[in-house]
Amino acid sequence: MSDTVLSLVTLAARKHGGPKLATLTAYDATSARLADAAGVDLVLVGDSLGMVIQGAANTLGVSVDDVAYHTAAVARGLSRAVLMADLPFASYPDAASAFSSAARLIRAGAALVKLEGAGHVIGIVEHLVAREIPVCAHLGLTPQAVHRFGGFKVQARDAAAAARLKADALALQAAGACLLVLECVPAALAAEVTRSLEIPVIGIGAGADCDGQILVWHDLLGMSAPPRPRFVRDFLKGHDSIEAALGGYVAAVRDGGFPGAKEGYR
């Protein structure tokens, strides 16, 4: 594992010929340190903490205070990986609110923030980027819209929805997003979006053709409660330590062994 300190510039360069981006959530300094030592490139303090840390049924109760607290803790455990933090539900209804929320997370130690959706969010992305706050966009299954979707379901399976997602991805890139997360969309659609963009695309339940992959810490270590989504793989199984499991995940992302064909959607 290289000890080179990574940046948004070096991650962007990996779109063109570099190894795929191994991304993982973390919520505390110890987990961050282990992920960093294993070679994880990008660490996300996700609003998934509402489910895996706080025990809620979804992410909607997570506050900016919660994410800022965990971001500061994770930042103390990192020495080389890039740190990203989620803007939680209702923290970016307009440009001014988004800037205030995002600035708190940057001050806590994040290098960039992630926010979900398109529509009015496209203008918010442009607003943040113009004010020196890097942004990762998130399309497909956006957990903050769980009630509108009627649950955690695969998205963009019909032609109209796929066309909207492709148009939204291009619009978010044009607004200045430097990364895109695609969650729970058909693998063929994710591959098409990945080819169409100049920014790296990180998949979760989006097939093997994205520029990188992300998993939740607890899912990677087999700690999540069943039923588990098909894109989840227990990397601790077959390994004798958390360190070995993390190293196995990073290696599998980079050599294309994860995700497999059965770990995606059609």
User: For position 214, which CATH number holds?
Assistant: 3.20.20.60
Mean pLDDT across the chain:
97
Strand partners, 203: 182, 213
pLDDT for residue 82 is more than 70: yes
From CA 266, how far away is CA 251, in angstroms rounded? 25
From CA 252, how far away is CA 140, in angstroms rounded? 24
Average pLDDT over residues 67-87: 99
Q: pLDDT band for position 17 (50/70/90)?
A: confident
Q: What are the backbone angles phi and psi of residue 82, rounded to the nearest 5°?
A: -85, 140
pLDDT of 226 reads 85
Cis peptide before 19 (omega within 30 of 0): no
Task: Write down the H helix ranges in 78-186.
Answer: 95-108, 121-130, 146-149, 159-175
Residue 221 inside a domain? The answer is yes
pLDDT single digits (tens) 91-136: 999 999 999 999 999 999 999 999 999 999 999 999 999 999 999 9
pLDDT for residue 147 is more than 70: yes
pLDDT of 1 reads 54
Residue type, 69: Y
Q: In the numeric block, which tokens belong to residue 219?
A: 């899912």
pLDDT for residue 35 is more than 60: yes
Residue 100 inside a domain? The answer is yes
From CA 54, how far away is CA 141, in angstroms rounded? 21
- First-to-final CA distance of the chain: 34
pLDDT of 227 reads 86
pLDDT of 2 reads 63
Residue 184 inside a domain? The answer is yes
Burial class (CB in 10 A: 0-12, 13-18, 19+), 120: exposed
Residue 165 inside a domain? The answer is yes
pLDDT single digits (tens) 164-216: 999 999 999 999 999 999 999 999 999 999 999 999 999 999 999 999 999 99
Q: What are the backbone angles phi and psi of residue 140, rounded to the nearest 5°?
A: 95, -130
Helices (H) and strands (E) in the chain, counts: 11, 8
For 224: left if phi > 0, alpha if psi spans -120 to 50, otherwise beta; the answer is beta
Average pLDDT over residues 237-246: 97
Q: In the numeric block, which tokens belong to residue 251?
A: 């290696």
Residue 90 inside a domain? The answer is yes
Q: Judge contact between 27 and 84, C-beta under 8 A.
A: no
pLDDT of 225 reads 83
Structural domain span for residue 58: 8-263
Residue 1 inside a domain? The answer is no
**Which residues are the active-site residues?**
183
pLDDT for residue 83 is more than 70: yes
Residue 3 inside a domain? The answer is no
Residue 2 inside a domain? The answer is no
Give how far the C-alpha of residue 96 lies from the chain's centroid of Cα atoms, to the nearest Å: 24
Q: Judge contact between 201 and 166, C-beta under 8 A.
A: no
Average pLDDT over residues 25-52: 98
Task: Report the number of distinct structural domains present in the chain.
Answer: 1
Q: Judge contact between 48 and 216, C-beta under 8 A.
A: yes
**β strands within the chain, DSSP E:** 21-25, 42-45, 82-86, 112-116, 135-140, 179-183, 201-204, 212-215
Q: pLDDT band for position 14 (50/70/90)?
A: very high
